[in-house]
Amino acid sequence: MTPPATAANTAAIHLYRSIRKSHRKFMPPKLQKLGDRYVRSEFKQHKSVTQPHQLDQFMAAWQEYLLQIQSTARKQHSIQSGMLDEPSALLNEKAQRVSFGKHLPSSFDLSDEQHEQLERLKDEASKV
Domain assignment present for 127:
no
Number of domains forming the structure of the chain: 1
What is the per-residue pLDDT for 101?
63
Please check whether residue 82 is in contact with residue 70, taking contact to mean a CB–CB distance below 8 angstroms: no
Domain assignment present for 118:
no
pTM of the model: 0.66
Domain assignment present for 107:
no
Position 100 pLDDT exceeds 70: no
Taking Cα atoms as reference points, which of 32, 53, 36 lies closest to residue 44?
36
Q: How many CB atoms lie within 10 A of CB 34?
A: 19
Q: pLDDT tens-digit profile of 104-117?
A: 677 778 788 877 87
Q: pLDDT tens-digit profile of 2-13?
A: 555 577 789 999
> In whole angstroms, what is the distance from residue 42 CA to residue 45 CA?
5
> In whole angstroms, what is the distance from residue 112 CA to residue 118 CA?
10
Domain span at residue 79? 1-43+53-102
What is the per-residue pLDDT for 93?
47
Q: Are strands 91-92 and 97-98 parallel, antiparallel or unpaired?
A: antiparallel
Domain assignment present for 117:
no
Domain assignment present for 48:
no
Domain assignment present for 111:
no
